[in-house]
Amino acid sequence: MNMLKVALLQIAPGKTLGENLEKGIRYCEMAKAGGADLALFPEMWSNGYNIYGRPVEEWQAEAVEGNGDFVNAFGSLAKELNMAIGITLLEKCENAPRNSLVLFDRFGERKLVYAKVHTCDFDVERNLTPGENFFVTELDTARGAVKVGVMICYDREFPESARILMLKGAELVLVPNACPMEINRLSQLRARAFENMLAIATCNYPETVPDCNGGSSVFDGVAYLPGLKGSRDTCILQADGKEGIYVAELDLEQLRRYREKEVHGNAYRHPKKYGALTDTKMEAPFIRENYRE
């Protein structure tokens, strides 16, 4: 079986960039020792998503270069460990920082850089630069190639995010997170996996981090199996609140067989009828003034 081992690093950050670098390296090494093919960090690991209750200028100054020493250390580590790594950061940008993920393959090659599109503009994240697009890359792993895309936290709440990634060929979507993973947010992830026939791996901070509660998860997106009456639970991993490394095994061959014959995803869409989704002039009573195109 073509089982891809995804390690969710549900770990608490330190107080400095150096501490997070050291701890991040250590936990990646532990993930590899446990057989992981890919390790994923929670949202904005470089500063531990420490942006609330602080002067904006103070935390913005903690942004690091996307091609700087902190990020490149994980590229070198990926090559050393022969393991893909999704490292997250508060990334320097021309006007305001970005909430980003850099994905390295097992050879240390930078395969994807994604900046959070749906920044939480109702709160302090309004001081970030949102990303402009969603990307999918073919990631070479020890278990073979897998097509990977990324959403970050609040992106999850917009079905369009996962839908675009599916249309671009994603089989696995990585979701760094920094908020309480309660039943409704977990239901969103379950729905995104089900309706797009793809796997979704979410990594959150543990319950010791303010406004977080662990609950990292993996949904494999396969709702029906031959010979199984009715549907199955697509959740193959649900972490508790404790700090640790949580590893899920994804059956890629099973997912691909499922996508070939089932009716979700792109099978029966009517895209010509969805014009209202991209019509910025459409009005609704709950549209806020700070709506971004």
DSSP letter string, the chain: --EEEEEEEE----SSHHHHHHHHHHHHHHHHHTT-SEEE--TTGGGTT--TTS-HHHHHTT-B-TTSHHHHHHHHHHHHHT-EEEEEEEE--SSS-EEEEEEE-TTS-EEEEEE-SS--TTTGGGGSPPP----EEEEEETTEEEEEEE--GGGGG-HHHHHHHHHTT-SEEEEE--S---HHHHHHHHHHHHHHT-EEEEE---TTSTT-----EEE------TT-SS----EEEE--SS-EEEEEEEEHHHHHHHHHH-SSTTTT--GGG-GGGG-TT---TT--TT---
Q: Is the torsion defined by CA of 48, 53, 58, 61 positive or negative?
A: positive
Instruction: Tell me the C-alpha distance between 94 and 275, whole Å.
Output: 33
The catalytic residue among 32, 43, 203, 212 is 43
Token representation of residue 41 = 């960090």
Instruction: Clarify whether 153 is annotated catalytic.
Output: yes
Instruction: Clarify whether 43 is annotated catalytic.
Output: yes
The catalytic residue among 153, 179, 203, 212 is 153
The catalytic residue among 116, 171, 203, 212 is 116
Active-site residue list:
43, 116, 153
